[in-house]
Structures are given as C-alpha cells and as structure tokens.
Amino acid sequence: MNRLPGKEVCVVNAACNVEKQRLMNAIYQCGFAISDITLFLDTHPKDPDALDYFQHMKHKYNHFVAEYETKFGPLTQTGEQRQNYWQWAVSPWPWERGYY
C-alpha cells in the first residue's frame, strides 16, 4: 500500500484517523453546501445573501482542504505539493484511505 513518507504514524494512530475523518466530513459538508447554493444562484443570481453564503462556504471549503493537505497530503492531483517529489503518487489511493 502506498504511504506518504513521514506519515506512517497516522495509519496506526487512532487520533490521527479521527482528525482525518473530521476534516473530510467538513470538506464534504462544505462541498455539498456549495453545490446546493450554486443551484439556488442559478435561479437567483442577484440574491446578496446567497452570494455572501457562497463566498463564506467557499472560504471554509478552501480552509479545510488546505488544512487536510498540510497534515495528510494532497486530496487531488492538483493539491498542495510541499515536497520536491510527486506526493500524489505515494499517498494512499482513495480506496486505501478507509473513509469516503
């Protein structure tokens, strides 16, 4: 199984897995809210409250993704690359991560 170098402790550390799950849940929730408000904005493009909510949720989503990628490696191919090697290829694949 591919592992992110230096992150092996996360595999056996239950607290680390809880933190991963917490961040993934936050990312999923923000992503759902963004999709939902996008549908509303399709029919109400000038609603200032909806536009503010969209910006707020986009900011939260980006924050949670950045926090996750800093702690656990990239979520996608275009995710944060802080090393001088291609982290995406050495991190666990989505089906190996144990959460969806």
Q: Note the pTM of the prediction, 2 decimals.
A: 0.70
Instruction: Note the pLDDT tens digit of each residue in 7-32.
Output: 554 555 566 789 999 999 999 999 99
| C-alpha torsion sign, points 27, 30, 31, 32 | positive
> How does pLDDT run across 50-67, given as a tens digit for each residue?
999 999 999 999 999 999
* Residue 27 to residue 74: CA distance in whole angstroms: 13
Domain boundaries, the chain: 9-96
